[in-house]
Amino acid sequence: MKVNFLYYLGVVVLMTSCASKQKMIYLQGIEQTATSEVVNYEPKIQLDDLIYINVSSESMEAAAPFNFGGAVQQTAAGNAVQYSSYLVDNQGYISLPIIGSVKVAGLTKTELHDFLKIKLEEYLKDPILMVRVINFKVTVMGEVKSPGNFTINSDRLTIMEALAQAGDLTPVANRENVLVVREESGIKSYYRVNLTDSEVLKSPIYYLKQNDLIIVEPRFTKPESSVVGANLPITLSVISLLLTITILATR
């Protein structure tokens, strides 16, 4: 009887430990050696995006009039860099020197690049064009180590990369039910995603969009979390004591 008790107690402890571990591991279900096709995702330009456009050619003097305006942005090293930047207005347009007003909302960066290059070829020989979105921003809230707004010097960001920017999830975070709020054309959409499941790689929110909001909920409410955290050493001590007494009693 006593031996059976020890056996079942050990099984319960082992199962609890395994269940807790399963809730902490990301992207479960991937084979040890597996491949998947990488989606060539490119976000579309939205209202209030800040577009960096730089024009050059064989003649710098000829290209100079096409580079206008500027915004100062801090680099990771703390240096200030001047950009020729254009804010997408509430109608989806930017105003470029000489070329004039261009509707950019709804275009990808590549589509805008190709469109502008055709326009520039009317004025310049072999124009070289660089186009970037320089204010790609997402917000991460809830059970992460460093919540906040994150401006990324790239226009391609995954949900995993955003959470890494926020210092990763806390131990009490619910990895199986993360909420992503996305607003497009004035309409809010809500997505729930399980980060422990490798199917997240196929989710429409794996690649984030401008101004996405990520909310990580706790696996239990804060008061419960506080109680568990405060009483964990006592609970472990009691379990250890009971195990010791049981082992001694069976000898």
Q: Is 170 exposed, middle or buried (0-12, 13-18, 19+ CB in 10 A)?
A: middle
136-216: CATH topology: Outer membrane lipoprotein wza fold like (3.10.560)
Q: What confidence score (pLDDT) does residue 198 get?
A: 87
- pLDDT tens per residue across span 184-229: 878 899 999 999 998 888 899 999 998 999 999 998 765 544 545 5
Q: What confidence score (pLDDT) does residue 174 get?
A: 94
Q: Which architecture, in CATH terms, is 50-133?
A: 2-Layer Sandwich (3.30)
Consecutive sets of 10 residues in the chain, 251 residues long: mean pLDDT of each? 53 49 57 56 87 90 78 44 77 94 95 96 92 91 96 86 95 94 89 92 91 92 51 58 64 62
Q: With beta carbons less than 8 A apart as the criterion, state whether 108 and 43 touch.
A: yes
Phi, psi (deg, nearest 5) at residue 158: -95, 165
Question: 97-116 in b/e burial notation, b at 16+ Cβ within 10 A?
Answer: eebeebebbebbbeebeebb
Q: What confidence score (pLDDT) does residue 108 get?
A: 93
Q: How far apart are the C-alpha atoms of 15 and 174, rounded to whole Å?
A: 19
Show the tokens assigned to 170: 């806390």
DSSP-assigned letter for residue 39: P
Coil, helix or strand for 75? Answer: coil
Phi, psi (deg, nearest 5) at residue 227: -65, -45
Q: How far apart are the C-alpha atoms of 105 and 89, rounded to whole Å?
A: 9
Q: What confidence score (pLDDT) does residue 177 get?
A: 93
Q: What confidence score (pLDDT) does residue 59 get?
A: 86
Torsion of CA 166, 172, 174, 179, to 10 degrees: -40
User: Rounded to two decimals, what is the model's pTM?
Assistant: 0.66
Q: How far apart are the C-alpha atoms of 156 and 151, rounded to whole Å?
A: 12
Q: What confidence score (pLDDT) does residue 242 get?
A: 66
Q: 195 CB contacts (<8 Å, ≥6 apart)?
A: 26, 27, 159, 160, 163, 169, 175, 176, 178
Strand 148-152 and strand 187-193: the pairing is unpaired
Chain Cα centroid distance, residue 159? 3
Q: How far apart are the C-alpha atoms of 172 and 220, rounded to whole Å?
A: 8
Can you give the residue ranges of every domain in the chain? 50-133, 136-216
Q: What confidence score (pLDDT) does residue 78 get?
A: 45
